[in-house]
Structure 1
Amino acid sequence: MTNTNDHDGGAPPRAGVEQVQRIGSWKVTMWLPLDSTSGNPREIRIEPHEAGDPQEVARGITTTVLRQIDTAAFAEEVGSLAKLAHSGQQAVESFRRELASLPKGVSDEYLAVLSALYVRFVNAGRRAPAQDLELWTGTKQATLKGHLRAARQRGFLTKVEGKPGGQLTDKAVETLRGINVEEVRQP
């Protein structure tokens, strides 16, 4: 079983968990998206295995092959991961509600929280912190980049030339102290 973020052709990337089983001359791939609340696969793909018997492949997929697909083992293995992903999604939704409770618009409070979250992602070594911000805030990356630019211009976040990064300024720390931490929890 592996975590995947692969995709076909021009389709957008899909985050999920997949497991591959070999049944005779067939490769069976089961996939479950990370936002799923069950452990059962959402997709099952059956294709000839690279080392499969050409004669068996020529006969096609039989009911014998279909009966051997072990979705129960997949669900058992993935069930705890699905629960973890679901709880993670609940944390994101809770953060979004709490972020929405801040003063409307691009307020100082919003910029301070956004800057703190951004710095947290950068310090955690995230390669694309703007993507993480998009997930956590529900705001498009282009808009978030503008908000981060505003945070730097208003003195909440320092600038790092040519790459993601920066540090919270004293102004940001003071603004964050004025926000009830119970209201806005960071991931």
Structure 2
Amino acid sequence: MKADESGFEITQGQGAWVIRMWWPTGPITGGPQRITVEAAEGAAVRDVARGISTTVLRRLDLAAAMKLAESAPELQEGMADVTAKVEQAGEAAGLLLTNEGVSAPYLAMLAATYKSMADMGAPAPVPWLARLISRRPETVKDHLKRARREGYLTTVAGKAGGELTEKATSTLAAFGNSEDRRD
């Protein structure tokens, strides 16, 4: 495995070919974002001349590469930081719900936290979010539906997550500014 500031690369050899798989730095949420296949140093000219076969591609072991990538210590440290920030945001949403009810800042914070969970590949973001805000998963689902209906979060068909809208980001910015003035 080779890492730099923008991402990391895992290399596999398949006969006359070297396959390089690249992920950006951050949580591993799926397969690589770039794959390159090049002739291996010292590969037989006749093997390279035939080109890359479907057999070479079928033998590519994405599962092993992902497992290796997920076990890298430097990535685990980064993942712990991301998880801690997501949990803090979830707890802040819970405090907003307790103090203000289902308010605009709460819906924006809930949407932002949910999006972060989905982006990091959390397998079950709703139950995790429900634990953080001390509510039932059904309640969180209802609040997320309301956040979508009121324009804080877009929908992604068939997947958890979505994109924060301008309304959500401006609500969070205004809320952050009001919190700064209270300190």
The TM tier, using the shorter chain, reads: 0.3 to 0.5
- Pick the structure with more helix per residue: 2
TM (normalized to structure 1)? 0.44
TM score, norm. by length of structure 2 = 0.45
